Amino acid sequence: MSEARGRTDPRIERSRQVIRQAAVDELGAAGYGAFTIESVAARAGVAKSTIYRHWPDKLALIADTFETFHEHAVPDIRGASPRERVELLVRHVAQIVADSPFSACIPALIEGAERDRRVREFHHRYSAVRRQSLIDVIAEGVAAGEFSPDADPALAAQALLGAIFYGRLMAGRPFEPRRTRDLVAMVLPGPGA
């Protein structure tokens, strides 16, 4: 789909972007159960047929929206050390979870995943791919001697992300992105710690 985007008429891509933004806003405001193509069309100011021309159903629209926004929002981590890359990725997640249109979508996706197998598969796959990026960087840091050789990359990624999502979903107080360096240092101490 991204290859086709490069050849797409700019007006069509702008229309898709308006629809994607309306989808995020609607998902966050209404939740997954009340999210409909009709409600997104009304919010975007387009006909339902316009949405169906690009996405076959609401899950396809949500999945494409999340993937597209992720492509544009992910920080550039090239050239940074493994520790710096971990901090950049974790800070990025903390900022998204603390204050973004996607923050309001998190409970909606969890609700949808509990009720709908297709949403659950998308949610788990999407989360696993994002988490794997962090796991890979942590593994590089362990191999490079930047983190303790005893560090388990998958468990460390889960601990880092868990602190962020716990604050958002359970404590009612988002994790403060400015504390990212402290969190990373606690979960991934250097080799001599």
Residue 82 has pLDDT above 90, yes or no: yes
Q: What's the rounded mean pLDDT across residues 14-38?
A: 95
Q: What's the rounded mean pLDDT across residues 49-56?
A: 96
Q: Which of 86, 99, 69 has its CA nearest to residue 142?
A: 86
162: tokens are 């868990």
- The pLDDT assigned to 1 comes to 45
- The pLDDT assigned to 9 comes to 80
Domains of the chain: 2-66 (1.10.10.60), 76-187 (1.10.357.10)
Q: Which of 163, 141, 159 has its CA nearest to residue 150?
A: 141
Residue 15 has pLDDT above 80, yes or no: yes
Residue predicted with more confidence, 134 or 171: 134
Task: Give the DSSP letter of residue 179.
Answer: G
Interval 106-145: pLDDT, tens: 999 999 999 999 999 999 999 999 999 999 999 999 999 9
Prediction pTM value: 0.84
In degrees rounded to 5, what are phi and psi of residue 144?
-85, -5
